[in-house]
Amino acid sequence: MSNKYIGQSVKRVEDKRFITGEGRYTDDIVLPRMVHAYILRSPYAHARIKSIDTSEALAMKGVVAIYTGKDFENINGVPCGWQVNFKDGTTMREPKHPLLVLDKVKHAGDGVAMVVAETKEIAADAAEAINVKYEVLKAVTNPKEALAPGAPLVHDEYPDNIAFDWQIGNDKAEVDAAMDSAHHITKLDFTNNRVVPNAMEPRSYIGDYDTAYDRYTLYTSTQNPHLIRLLMCAFVLGIPEHKVRVVGPDVGGGFGSKIYHYTEEALVTWAAKQLRRPIKWTSDRSEAFLTDAHGRDHVSTAEMGFDKDGHIVGLRIKTYANLGAYLSTFASAVPTYLHGTLLQGVYTTPKIHLDMTCVFTHTTAVDAYRGAGRPEATYLLERLMDVSAHEMGIDPAELRFKNFIPPFDGVNQAGYQTQVALQYDSGNYHAVLERGLEMLGYADFKEKQAEARKNGKLLGVGFSTYIEACGIAPSAVVGSLGARAGLFESAQVRVQPTGKVNVYTGSHSHGQGHETSFAQVVADKLGIPLADVEIIHGDSDAVAFGMGTYGSRSLAVGGSAIVKSIEKVLEKGAKIAAHKLECSTDDLDFADGKWTVKGTDKSIGFGDVALTAYVPHVYPANLEPGLDFSSFYDPANFTYPFGCHIAVVEVDAETGKVTIKRFVAVDDVGNVINPMIVEGQIHGGLAQGIGQALLEGVIYDENGQLTTGTFMDYAMPRADDLPMFETDRKTTPCPHNPLGVKGAGEAGAIGSTPAVVNAVMNATWHLGVRDLEMPLTPQRVWRAMNHK
Amino acid sequence: MELTGSHILHAPVQKIWDLILNPEFLAKVTPGISRLEQESGDLYKAIAEIKIGPVHGKFEGSAELTDKVEHESFVLKVTQNSKIGNVEADIKMVMKPTENNETELSFDGVANMSGLLARTGNRVMSGVANTLTKQFFSNFEKELLNY
């Protein structure tokens, strides 16, 4: 062990290829004899297919094949990864999500036919020549409207559009009693707006089939290659898993939208064998808006009760989650186990109850989106806290201090058992808020705000003290909650004879910087230069197994698996070193890349030991040659990063435009391997969280048409929408993984959204504004201020 | 998308009415129309190519005149399909003589769009509709002189 790299802002080694245009994404891959697919999509949100005539299209020059729903009548659809049960114990409703629709399209963009042609352009032109006759039906896109009697049905077999209902927390009667006893109750209706993830790289897949070896290869822009292989082989196509290689090459962002096993992945893999030619499909941007899994979309009524001193006595929530037309891979997990379990927040709330109804609508499927369920929980809690504080005349920071769970490190003090199943590992919530207030200069700020008000400026401050469950996840726990997979991670550390090291990790990088931060860990643990370590990921033929990257799990779970393998390498290395140095392993110390006999200057370097392992001439008896170890790491618990985000906004009294003047973020993500990468992750998350609050929002019209389907109609945050972020960190190590890390990928998107909305409400509170639906566009804010 | 507006055409109602029911004339003045054929009675088959800014596509479909009240009004039902989406519109057209024996043609209707047309949003689409309407009336007036 040395401490040369861990904790240092090492520049990302992968960035050279990304910024010089040498990154290799799926669409960059060109295989010999490759043909191109184009998916003809339904222009309607809900319609019966009366007929499909492909004859004209098939006759076009360059068209290789056309497939329709009929070809997949006897092939399974894409599955959901989690089984959640109704309150009464019956299994959730899981409609078939066919690779192509046979009879009824269920959202605008549903795939109706796949044209394969010599070029993408020919395929697109041929798709235009396909004549589909539809009987257009009425559509419903809002979850509450979908539950109304007589609402159009998404799946004819489910006469109420309910996927499942679910609850978590204390007994409902106990929570009702606690609320009845409350001195003050804050009750609000919230909408958590639907957003489009908009990864920079659109989805792209290549299916290939090798007749000589009877072997498939799928290149895919995914967050989890092995998971895609498992789902596609075992659940959809029924092809043998050992005959399938899935490669996730460089992937340009996912944010949760590339967890989903999409129909197009199975389509190109299946058709590659039919045609004996590689097939590429790449989404265009408009298609991405329409078919990439969306995020969020909750409608809630939430109540928080307080005693006369401002202590929370109860929390009662009713939420409707819009799942879209089909169940995505994490569809059922996001609104339940990744949302309901976070409703304790960082507070000592004694009684909590969430009643959840998950609903089908004629919209694009919803899946994980940066934070996945946890932002929705945080939004409810943190909005309620600020509104309650203002209603009760208590300072919002003070109200939080009153209700925080006291600090606990998970070692000397036990973890904190919540009312909603989870046990927090370690936390110090006071520390992050104290630091945030200090950075803000809160005392001075209050004076400034009063002065600004006098001058007609609407200045507001909003708080958010969030917690998240990351490092997903202990397999036994998630298994008991309905996950159809374990959520461990694998790692192989292969030391080459020259002492160079290849590390094969099951965690996939699509922008997170694994090739740098993982290498920092390996280099320090083995005491070798960073350049001597290569991190390999994303290829199921190279990597033993992997559950992928999401839920801020890469370093906490994938990194821990690497540490386990390194420990095995060092244990065996010590035996070789002891043999060479003619001593016992107990007499050895390992530091700075060499084993030294204690109290002497006799030592042997890591490189010499590696060479000896592969040239075992002078070698311990009964020891195998080689230095190459694999490990699987299954975490003992989730990790629980937390933090404090504070937004200062100015609302233009004339136009309602919100400008973020300052944004303070103090995050505690446990130990940090590369501060610059963590900072980058926080910045990216903040941009997305602020984007949801102020700019982004999906709008379907009354016919189920996506009216926000371009970057002209869907506002993404740009640099000039954001202030210079003021960030700092506190460190409360994770007590149950070897690196003490908690994960930082989602924190920014979880904490920032309510902070911004709280700040706008604070700025306009005196005008009677209590809640507004996001995004807080100038029009919405102006109307609320002017009661129009 | 709502479609409303009116325009003064420099000819008496009788003449305007006849011209609007004349497929040859309509094909000349309607922007982008490449073919307009009478299928039966008041039902026409139409093929048009539109290219305005981001909206670019070949449309095929039908146009039908219903609820005809001679020299007064009719309802134009348009169904057009294209790669970039489908349009279904119901537009009520009303003709009124003005004091100068000219015709005020006013229209009022709704167009429902699907596909890419819907996704490009009303902001773009209503601009496209305005441009097409202006072109229609300007062509109409020019062509009027030849009839």
For residue range A103-122, what is the model confidence (pLDDT) as tens digits? 999 999 999 999 999 999 99
What pLDDT is attached to residue A536? 97
What does the alpha-carbon distance between residue A184 and residue A180 come to, in Å, rounded to a whole number? 10
Nearest in space to A468 (alpha carbons), one of A168, A81, A256, A742: A742
CB count, 10 Å around CB of A723?
17
**Residue B124 with chain A: CB contacts under 8 Å:** 712
Of A44, A286, A703, the CB nearest to B119: A286
Q: Average pLDDT of chain A?
A: 96
| A754/A454 Cα distance (integer angstroms) | 26
DSSP letter for A554, please: I
| Residues of chain B contacting residue A41, judged by C-beta atoms under 8 Å apart | 115
- Within 8 A of B128 by CB-CB distance, chain A residues are none
Max Cα-Cα span within chain A: 87
Q: Is residue A654 predicted with pLDDT exceeding 80?
A: yes
Specify the DSSP element, H or E, that contains B4: strand B2-9
Q: What residues contact residue A233 under an 8 Å CB cut-off, 6+ apart? A: A239, A240, A241, A244
Q: Is the pLDDT of residue A435 over 80?
A: yes
Angstroms from B27 CA to nearest CA on chain A: 24
Is residue B146 predicted with pLDDT exceeding 90?
no
Query: How close is the nearest chain A Cα to the Cα of B114, in Å?
Result: 5
pLDDT at B52: 73
**With helix as H, strand as E and coil as C, how does A18-73 read?**
HHCCCCCEHHHCCCCCCEEEEEEECCCCCEEEEEEECHHHHCCCCEEEEEEHHHHC
Instruction: State residue B115's pLDDT score.
Output: 84
Mean pLDDT of the A245-259 span:
97
Express each pLDDT in A513-544 by its tens digit. Answer: 999 999 999 999 999 999 999 999 999 999 99
Distances (CA, A) of A263 to A95, A101, A417, A484: 14, 11, 40, 19
Strand A533-537 and strand A501-505: the pairing is parallel
Mean pLDDT of B92-117: 90
pLDDT confidence of residue B120: 73
DSSP one-letter string for A123-175: HHHHHHT-EEEEEE-----SHHHHTSTTPPPSSTTSTT-EEEEEEEES-HHHH
Helix and strand numbers (H, E) in chain B are 4, 7
How many residue pairs bridge chain A and chain B with CB atoms within 8 Å of each other?
Answer: 51
**CATH 3.30.365.10 domain locations along chain A:** 367-473+637-785, 488-633
pLDDT of residue B31: 86
Q: Can you tell me the mean pLDDT for A472-477?
A: 92
Average pLDDT over residues A61-68: 98
- The pLDDT, as a whole number, for residue A351 is 98
Q: Which CATH architecture has domain B2-144?
A: 2-Layer Sandwich (3.30)
The topology (CATH level 3) of A367-473+637-785 is: Aldehyde Oxidoreductase; domain 4 (3.30.365)
Report d(CA A49, CA A780) in Å as an integer.
Answer: 39
pLDDT tens across B58-84, in order? 888 999 999 999 999 999 999 988 888
Region A657-686: mean pLDDT is: 98
Superfamily of domain A31-137+200-253+258-291: Aldehyde oxidase/xanthine dehydrogenase, a/b hammerhead (3.90.1170.50)
**Reported confidence tier of residue B53, pLDDT bands at 50, 70, 90:** confident
The confidence band for A1, taking pLDDT boundaries of 50, 70 and 90, is low
Rounded to an integer, what distance in angstroms lies between the CA atom of residue B11 and that of residue A719? 56
Residue type, A785: M
pLDDT at A348 over 70: yes
What chain A residue is nearest to B87 in terms of C-alpha separation? Answer: A43
Residue among A127, A128, A707 minimizing CB distance to B119: A707
What number does CATH give the domain A488-633?
3.30.365.10
Q: Which residue has the tokens 């370093």?
A: A555
Measured at the CA of A750, the angle between CA A261 and CA A675, to 5 degrees, comes to 95
What residues does CATH 3.90.1170.50 cover in chain A?
Answer: 31-137+200-253+258-291
pLDDT for B122: 65
* pLDDT tens-place string over residues A141-178: 999 999 999 999 999 999 999 999 999 999 999 999 99
Cα nearest neighbour of B117 on chain A: A707
Query: What pLDDT sits at residue B41?
Result: 86
Q: Is the pLDDT of residue B119 over 90?
A: no
Q: Do B118 and A707 touch (CB under 8 A)?
A: yes
Task: Determine whether the interchain pair A44/B122 forms a contact, defined as Cβ–Cβ distance below 8 Å.
Answer: no
For residues A327 and A77, what is the distance between their CA atoms, to the nearest angstrom? 11
Q: pLDDT of A274-319, one tens digit each?
A: 999 999 999 999 999 999 999 999 999 999 999 999 999 999 999 9
Helix axes A374-392, A396-403, angle to 10 degrees: 110
Among A744, A548, A563, A729, residue whose Cα is nearest residue A640: A744
Q: What is the pLDDT of residue A428?
A: 98
Burial B69-80 (b: 16+ CB within 10 A, else e): eeeeebebbbeb
Write down the pLDDT at residue A592: 94
First vs last Cα of chain A: how many Å apart? 65
Asked if the Cβ–Cβ distance from B119 to A706 is below 8 Å, we say yes
pLDDT, one tens digit per residue, over A98-108 is 999 999 999 99
Give the mean model confidence (pLDDT) for residues B88-98: 92
CA distances from A509 to A205, A248, A250, A501, B60 (A): 17, 9, 8, 19, 46
| Confidence (pLDDT) at B123 | 67
Question: Scanning the structure block, which residue is given the tokens 């609007």?
Answer: B20
Distance of CA A715 to the CA centre of its chain: 21
B116/A705 Cβ within 8 A: no
Which residues of chain B neighbour A709 with C-beta distances below 8 Å?
Answer: 116, 118-121
Give the CA-trace dihedral at A319, A322, A326, A327, to 10 degrees: -40
pLDDT at A484 over 80: yes
Instruction: Tell me how far apart the alpha carbons of residues A231 and A286 are, in angstroms, rounded to a whole number.
Output: 27
CB contact under 8 A, B83 and A707: no
Question: Stretch A699-717: mean pLDDT, rounded?
Answer: 93
Mean pLDDT of B97-123: 86
The reply to whether residue A709 touches residue B119, judged by beta carbons under 8 angstroms, is yes
Triad A398, A401, A404: Cα angle to 5°:
150
Q: A295 burial class (0-12, 13-18, 19+ CB within 10 angstroms)?
A: buried
Residue A289 sits at the chain B interface (C-beta within 8 Å): yes
The whole-number pLDDT of residue A641 equals 98
Q: What is Dmax (Cα atoms) for chain B?
A: 45
A468, A576, A585, A612 from A605: Cα distances, Å:
42, 11, 15, 11
Worst-scoring range by mean pLDDT, A565-579, A638-652, A685-699, B69-83? Answer: B69-83
Query: How close B105 comes to chain A (CA, Å)?
Result: 30
